[in-house]
Amino acid sequence: MRSKKAMWNMLSSLALQFVSVVCGLILPRLLIRSFGSAVNGMAASVTQFLSYIVLFEAGVGGVVRAALYKPLADDDHAKMSGILRASDRFFRKIAALFALFAAAVACLYPLLVRREFEYLFTFSLVLIIAFSTFFQYYFGMSRQILVQADQKRYVASNLQIMTILLNTLLAVVLIRLGCSIHAVKLGTAFVYALRPLALRLYVRRRYKPDVHAAPDETAIAQRWDGLGHHTAYFLHTNTDVFVLTVFSALSRAVGIADVSVYSVYYAIVAGIEKVVSAFSSGIEAAFGNMIAREETETLQRNFRAYEFFSFTLVTALFTCTGLLLQPFLAVYTHGISDANYMRPLFGILLTAAEAVYCVRIPYNNVTLAAGHYRQTRNGAFLEAGINVVLSVALVIPLGLAGVALATLAAMTVRTVQYAFYLSRHILCRPFSVFLGRCGVNVCAAALAVLCCLPLVQSTAQDYLSWALHAVPVFLICSGWALLLNSLFYRQDLRQLWIVFRNSIQKRSVQS
């Protein structure tokens, strides 16, 4: 059953990421062409500033998910209802805080971009963008955590696919009709407010939680230990835009248009990261179930297969991304002249940072599935500190490349810490296993780059010519990654095939 759920989660997450990447490339170009790079950069910056409210969660999302694994595995309805009630109370307080926070941002943020935009223009846009986030916290967050813990992430993913498609269609229509950026963002806000309401209805019918159950506050007792992990993830996705926005107001070294450049690059690279994450969708819940049932041997065997798959996928996709990013952007930004979008060093550093982040996903998933928040929180705070300090120090001399380099350094430190902790305290194996996998995959990436350089040096004129170059590059990168990993880790490849075969057979039997 775990294999079947993991397969459904993976497929739905892949579909979600495909839709997210495609729609995430369509809308920014339309916004840039219709409203300019400065407006697109400002909208991206506002979204990032508002997302700072997640710091108030204090890591509760992951803590609640870990607390739900055992009652769901034991079919303990009363315990599940108590945890859900405690989570509901907490996130509604967060929603109230968010309303105050959004009002403060709406008042203060326009001062940072006053050189480019009028106060009322920015003030109203902030409030519009904040609308859907409020709905998410007030109505949908606890329900989303519940379906994730029950290895049914595909439910939330399918709802998100529908809202992304609807939002993209509505935004395209509004832009074509000549509507303002405020009208476009207001349409987005209403569309995204529908998802938490639909998820709430699903949970009510599927799980029938007891709305009168006593809140189980012990379920969120580790929230302050989860804060470090939550903060580190938040800073991973938000530090760069925050630093660029602040320094655009304080220095001529960067401008608000640089935020637009960053958001375009990040949309592409983060899209690849989301594809990798999609393959891991539901895996944490599966490992959490194994740990709850104390299936130690099964955990060890399946983690090695997961590790093999993750390293191979990360090496193939991110090597390919590093090689093809600049040729793609040359086509994507053709005709846009209000900002310089060709930043090869920045692109390489950002790609490397996301690759390192994806390498740590298996180690992060199993560590948190085991509920080891307190034991690993110091590494999370260290990562956050490195990211912030280096970003501020490097943004003026290096610009976009500086904040990307800071992110890469922070990601590397944290990934090594996760791998070391998991090897020593949960899997009980030598740390050299992780280092060996890193060495094998660095060699695979280097060989792929040497083979592909002649293919990416020619200039693509349109998307078709870029795709014709991309296909052989992808095949070469994937070939080297699979070949070297298969040579050094044959047993892991066999186990991966067994897991895949079992999931397919179970689906066939139940069909």
In a domain? residue 377: yes
Phi and psi, residue 59, nearest 5°: 75, 15
Cα 183 from chain centroid? 27
10 Å CB burial of residue 331 (0-12, 13-18, 19+) is: middle
Coil, helix or strand at residue 146: helix
Task: Please state the three-class secondary structure of 38-77 as a single string.
Answer: HHHHHHHHHHHHHHHHHHHHCCHHHHHHHHHHHHHHCCCH
Q: Report the residue count for the chain.
A: 511
Token pair recorded at residue 177: 């009709």
Mean pLDDT by 10 residues, the chain (511 residues): 62 80 84 85 81 64 75 82 84 83 89 84 89 77 79 81 91 90 88 85 84 75 58 69 77 74 89 81 65 71 86 95 92 83 92 94 81 75 87 89 93 91 84 93 95 79 87 94 93 81 54 40
CA torsion sign, 456 to 37 to 346 to 13? negative
Query: Would you say 395 and 239 are in contact if contact means Cβ atoms under 8 Å apart?
Result: no
In a domain? residue 216: no
In a domain? residue 368: yes
Cα 187 from chain centroid? 24
Q: In angstroms, what CA-CA distances link 429 with 292, 296, 419, 486, 492?
A: 20, 13, 11, 21, 15
355/367 Cα distance (integer angstroms): 19
Q: In angstroms, what CA-CA distances link 315 with 61, 173, 281?
A: 30, 39, 19
46/127 Cα distance (integer angstroms): 10
Task: Looking at 177-282, list the stretches that DSSP marks H as alpha helix, in order from N- to C-terminal side.
Answer: 181-206, 223-250, 256-279
How many Cβ atoms sit within 10 Å of the Cβ of residue 138? 19
Query: Would you say 36 and 338 are in contact if contact means Cβ atoms under 8 Å apart?
Result: yes
In a domain? residue 511: no
One-letter identity of residue 125: L
Q: What pLDDT sits at residue 510?
A: 45
Q: In angstroms, what CA-CA distances link 168 with 133, 163, 278?
A: 18, 8, 21
β strands within 320-388, DSSP E: none
Block residue for tokens 């001529």: 252
In a domain? residue 54: yes
Count of the separate structural domains present in the chain = 1
In a domain? residue 226: yes
Which residue in 411, 405, 409, 355 sits closest to 380, CA to CA?
411
In a domain? residue 73: yes
Kindly state the greatest CA–CA separation across the chain.
Answer: 66
Q: What pLDDT sits at residue 509?
A: 41
Q: What pLDDT sits at residue 145?
A: 81
pTM: 0.71
Which residue in 196, 171, 182, 158 sits closest to 23, CA to CA?
171
Number of Cα atoms under 13 Å in the Cβ half of residue 124: 11
Q: What pLDDT sits at residue 438?
A: 94
Coil, helix or strand at residue 326: helix
In a domain? residue 217: no
Query: Would you say 59 and 229 are in contact if contact means Cβ atoms under 8 Å apart?
Result: yes
Phi and psi, residue 209, nearest 5°: -65, 145
Query: Would you say 174 and 184 are in contact if contact means Cβ atoms under 8 Å apart?
Result: yes
Q: Which domain holds residue 365?
A: 2-210+222-506
Angle (deg, nearest 10), helices 256-279 and 344-359? 30
